[in-house]
Structure 1
Amino acid sequence: MRTIRPRYNESDLETVLLTSEDIQRRISELSSELSEHYQGEDVTIVSILSGALVFTADLIRSCNFPTRLDCLRAESYGNATTAQTPPRITNPLKTDIKNHHVLVVDDILDSGNTLKAIIAHLEKHSPASLKTCVLLDKPARHEKSFSADFCGFSIPDQFVVGYGLDFAERYRNLSCIGVLREELQNSDTHS
């Protein structure tokens, strides 16, 4: 007998906060801001896996400056709906960033703990400059005085999925960003 698997689609959302069109419009604006800031400099983009992958791909395609791409994996959520502390950086960079401009791209600035740990980790490699760009910012959740240099959207303190953001590794495929229905915010319901 064949098992019917859940679809993990927009019907699982309580509400859509950002449509695909909203996201693409803001990425275009961000790429203009970044292009103006870097003015043709060669920049190493460090994408934080796995959540920032979709955002990074769209962002670097629309930027008007030369880029190199590397990735770091930072684990802070697991199967929970709140960030765990301390975050763990689980793989090293493959690219030498010494004396290079570095832009860290992440999906969401929640408590700030993950980005702070990543910045401290990357500063040890002596980059020429180190900036951060996040798609989403939850100012109500910040535990430390930390803000991103470039930000797509400020959102309320709600658990969101879609456009690379996940719950228990699901919903990354959605083209929008929305609030996951509360009854689905339990990893047992997604087994």
Structure 2
Amino acid sequence: MNKQGEQIIINGETFVPLLNEYEIQKRVRELGEEISRDYRGKVPVFIGVLNGAFIFMSDLLKNVDIECEIDFFKLSSYGDSKISSGNVKLLKELNCDVNDRDIIIVEDIVDTGLSIKYIGDLFSKHTPKSMKVASLLVKPESLKYDVKIDYIGFRIPSQFVIGYGLDYQQKYRNLSSIYVLSE
């Protein structure tokens, strides 16, 4: 990775800033406050979708001021590619019981909606009290499935992004801002 000013060069491809650290943290704080209001008096289970959501979920939970629990799924739909394979594999199951619980699925990005649909199908075999979805990023133009995202950080164009948990071949998750592949 070669940083030149605000842009980053990776394998000859140029990535430019889309969302800076301040914008992200401000919006995550707002989402945490909204979720806290909506779940006052309840103890929801936040379920992060690994690997991408771990940074967003960590920051989100720092801004939630209600009792809660956490757990994680690990799904795979991208591999090392920039586009979804169209198939979702469950690599790590939950450790908690979701029956009669308020569930908040935490995603880094909703692209086609396939992963959220897959998770919804998994939960259809259980009886959660409620299930909502929080996603830092949503690509409305890329959605192929009718999925409801209850808490949206940012709506972004259908372009490849990295940083703040989002990777390219498992790297660059540690960038504090989000960068988009320059066209």
Q: What SS is found at the alignment partner of 2:169?
A: coil
Distance change in 2, residues 1:101/1:168 (3 Å): same
> CA shift at 1:181, angstroms?
5.0
Equivalent-residue separation in structure 1 for 2:163 and 2:105 (angstroms): 20
Runs of 4+ in 1 over 2 A off after TM superposition: 6-14
Q: Which residue of 2 aligns with 1:167?
A: 168
Give 1 or 2: higher helix fraction.
Answer: 1
Task: Confirm or deny: 8 A CA contact 2:138 2:154 kept in the other structure.
Answer: yes
Q: What SS is found at the alignment partner of 2:56?
A: helix
Q: Which residue of 1 aligns with 2:64?
A: 63
Task: Confirm or deny: 8 A CA contact 1:44 1:100 kept in the other structure.
Answer: yes
Q: Which residue of 1 aligns with 2:150?
A: 149
Question: Structure 1 unaligned runs (5+)?
Answer: 1-5, 183-191
Distance change in 2, residues 1:95/1:139 (3 Å): same
Equivalent-residue separation in structure 2 for 1:173 and 1:40 (angstroms): 34
Equivalent-residue separation in structure 2 for 1:141 and 1:164 (angstroms): 20
Q: Which residue of 1 aligns with 2:141?
A: 140
Post-superposition Cα deviations, 1:12-50, rounded to whole Å, max 9, x if no partner, equal: 353111000000000111011111111131010100000
Q: What SS is found at the alignment partner of 2:118?
A: helix
Q: Which residue of 2 aligns with 1:34?
A: 35
Q: What SS is found at the alignment partner of 1:34?
A: helix
In the alignment, is residue 22 of structure 1 matched against residue 23 of structure 2?
yes
Structural RMSD (CA) = 1.6
Q: What SS is found at the alignment partner of 1:90?
A: strand
Q: TM-score when scaled to structure 2?
A: 0.91
> CA shift at 1:89, angstroms?
1.4
Identity of aligned residues (%): 34
Q: Number of residue pairs matched? A: 177
One-letter amino acid of the structure 2 residue matched with residue 104 of structure 1: I
